[in-house]
Amino acid sequence: MSTLRQTVEPASQEPIPSVEGIVLVTDAITAMGLPIGSYKVGQQEFEVTPEGRAFVLGTKTLIGSIVTMDKCVKHFLEATNCSTEEALEAGTRHPAEMLGIAAQKGTLDYNSDADFILLDDELNVQATYIAGELVWDKVKGNHDKRAIQRKGISGFKDIV
């Protein structure tokens, strides 16, 4: 499996002969989605920078990734010159197929879970739906925690 890391400079990445079957992942930590600033989670103090990175407070030591899936898709699209459809499938259909859950996730086929996002032309998330119900809307700037709880999702902080 080929991987592209957001932290690697594009010039150092090996060319990818085909994007078919590539799976995009994000291993984002709790800091994902937080605005620029300093924070403390447990005993760990860290800062989120304007460049979109999270460092141990007062150092240049990365504490983990805070990249969101939409940013992974955009980076992949730019780094590979693949089509928008191929980039989106690498973040949706391919992971679902790899996990053996393609009948429920990664598709909008009949009888699927109907978990999906709405994107603008620049692939920025505009709204998030879980089981067909709106749970986050960029225009309204809020999310519906009750809807999320009804869907049985635990550990939810924010949908980006």
User: Catalytic residues, which ones?
Assistant: 27
Distance of alpha carbon 106 from alpha carbon 122, whole angstroms: 20
Distance of alpha carbon 121 from alpha carbon 129, whole angstroms: 18
Cβ burial of 68 (10 Å; 0-12, 13-18, 19+) is: middle
Distance of alpha carbon 67 from alpha carbon 70, whole angstroms: 8
- Other Cβ atoms less than 10 A from the Cβ of 130: the count is 21
Distance of alpha carbon 83 from alpha carbon 92, whole angstroms: 14
| Rounded alpha-carbon distances, angstroms, from residue 142 to 120, 135, 145 | 18, 8, 9
Return the structure tokens found at 5.
């890391």
